[in-house]
Chain A
Amino acid sequence: MSWQGRVLRVNLTAGTCEGENINSEWALSFLGQRGLATKYMMAESDPAADPLSPANNLIFATGPLTGTPASTGGRYSVITKGALGGAIACSNSGGHFGAELKNAGWDIIIFEGRSEKPVYLFIDDDDAQLLDASALWGKSVWETEPAIKTLHQDPEIKIASIGVAGEKMVRYACVVNDLDRAAGRSGVGAVMGSKQLKAIAVRGNKGVQIKDMAGFLAAAAVSNKRIAESGSSKRLSQSGTIPMMNVTNSYGSLPTRNNQELQFDGIDTVNVQAMKAPRKSDGKANLKTNKACFACTIGCARVSQMDPDHFSLIERKNFPTVSGGLEYESGYSLGPMVGVTDIEAATYANYVCNEQGMDPISFGVTLSAAMELFETGALTEKETGGVKLNFGSAEALVTMVDLTGRGEGFGEELGLGSMRLCEKYGHPEFSMAVKGQEIPGYDGRAMQGMGLAYATSNRGACHLRASPYGDDFEHIRPEGKARIVIDTQDETGATDSAGICQFPGYTLEEISALLSAACDGDWSPENLNVVGERIWNLERQFNLAAGLTAADDTLPERMLKEPASSGAGKGRVCELDKMLPEYYELRGWDKEGQPTKETLKRLSLS
């Protein structure tokens, strides 16, 4: 119960789809979604394999709370070896696809091998089959979803697919579901493209069985009331995450122009006020409304409407003007990071990232690295196809997002990601990435805890693997950060494996109450902490087996050597050298960053 108890194993090389029972012993130790799928990866997929080879498995996984009435209980994750840096990738998405997959009776889909021709997986409850996707290959996400619904004459089918970026194996291609929700990070869409798997289309009618429905609804009522009354939920509903832009700008931790600056002189053009202000051209605001994912009681997602007369749309007359809008991360990476003050251009770039299936964080940060290469002369118009890649150029942003999404021209080079691009052009120090993955919208000089979180994140630089925000905004010093980062890393490991979102701010006590009513197992808050720690160490084991070492637990040189020029962290660098040894010690790892035998034994990982 709560789990469906079923795994769908799809061998793309052989063209087979076979159902099997879930490993229930693993489920009781690793919960679901991120944790359970990582266990399957560790057991069945070679960590040393090339991420874009048939030997790298690709897993879609739900959690025990996916498809239940728990607030935000609609999450799923894509787990594989990531295409950007070869670390374990786990990319989490909302929308309605995950709940539909669970309702079809499947907890997990494991894709093995590589198809000889483009295919998509069609699931109708127990019936699963691989179908020819030749006619879909070369189409965007926005063309693929309606095409599959039309083909099957069912508008209720839920679809997760890749666009052309995934087909072309852009290193940060993502998997998009419900048109604008995405398993966005780590290049999971490139892995999907390498397998010639265009889409998964699901129709589910089975429902999810709950062990103690009365107890579950009582637990959900308690957490839902707390969520409804919390100030952060109201803010997320009204304004999404983009108010963070003013916070990091005020604090001096907003990465700007490839982290050369930490406060943006054009902040008023791309912040929440700019999104809500009526345009001079048509009197409408960029922000149209909000929307919610399956079972969500917050509704943080933004829906924007672009200015139909904006220059980016001149040659795209049928391009939708209303779609998923800027969030904080996409707003930062397509605005301040590239120095662009045109919110319509940033919105267009975000649309194209959804249309073609690309992570807007990695795209924007890679473009910002290219802009620094261009402005320092390492790149010229000869390489860029005549485009002047200057910071602040909205025209360059629009041109390059189109080219990258289609894998054409200089966009093919941008599709390498910042690490490979900067190495190619002789300036690896311009890449703002950790373990090959580009940084989110926080600089580690003013936010030391986030610096440690980036350096130690198992999937590369990430703002969702730890939560040091509160302390970082109060204390700019290395002391105490290791404990905060570890505790919140373990908590998010449990949250991400349960099938719910991080935004409601669920406590482990609330998750415990929901899980204990929903399914078998020991889900006390104390054990959930252990489960989270176990998952973190399992991911670490995968990375070590993949060849990563302690040397990969680092930050861009700029954060370690160039003092912040302004803001609360002025004059500081990120003091990772002081935080990392303490982090290893508290984790129960040796000086080389390897979990000790005692740690592995304590977590039942040896």
Chain B
Amino acid sequence: MKIHLNFVALEVNHLPAEGKDELDLIEGSNLDAALQALGLGDDKSYLTLLNDDSIPTSLRATTILADGDTLTLFSPIKGG
């Protein structure tokens, strides 16, 4: 299945290969697996949205992805 990717305000060292906007995963993969496939591992310095839903880090391992989902990764930055 294909997952659409969206990277928002991430630091350079948290970005996977440049230009990557889709990810191929096997059916039934969870969010953790997607992050592992991106080489991001268990890093908590970024947060995740699955489609429009915020997914806490504690639920990454139990959140199952579906074909066509959009995964957004972003930094929890402060404004000013």
Contacts and interface: CB of A to CB of B under 8 A. Distances in A.
B80 A241 contact: yes
A474 B8 contact: no
Given A250-B6, A475-B56, A234 B11 contact: yes
Contacts of B9: 235, 243-244, 246-247, 272
B56 A474 contact: yes
Nearest to A474: B56
A374 interface: no
A570 B49 CA distance: 13
Contact of A469 (B14, B72, B77): B77
Contact of B52 (A252, A300, A474, A503): A252
B56 to A, nearest CB: 5
Interface in B45-80: 45, 47, 49, 52-54, 56-57, 72, 74-80
A482 B51 CA distance: 28
Given A251-B74, A473-B74, A442 B52 contact: no
B49 A329 contact: no
A521 to B, nearest CB: 29
A568 B54 contact: yes
Contacts of B54: 251, 473-476, 568
B57 A474 contact: yes
Interface in A26-53: none
Contact of A241 (B11, B76, B79): B79
Contacts of B45: 231
Interface residues of A, number: 36
Contacts of A272: 9
B47 A244 contact: no
Contact of B78 (A469, A474, A475, A568): A469
Nearest to A505: B78
Contacts of A251: 49, 54, 74
A567 interface: yes
Interface string B1-22: 0000010110101100000000
A441 B80 CA distance: 9
B47 to A, nearest CB: 5
Contacts of A231: 11, 13-14, 45, 75
B79 A328 contact: yes
A407 to B, nearest CB: 28
Contacts of A129: none
A469 B11 contact: no
Q: Report which residue of B49, B57, B78, B80 has the largest number of chain A beta carbons within 10 angstroms of its beta carbon.
A: B80
Contacts of A327: 80
Given A250-B49, A566-B52, A568-B52, A503 B74 contact: no
A556 to B, nearest CB: 19
A464 B72 contact: no
Contacts of B13: 231
Interface in A206-251: 231-232, 234-235, 241, 243-244, 246-248, 250-251
7 contacts: A244-B78, A247-B9, A469-B76, A475-B54, A503-B78, A503-B80, A566-B52
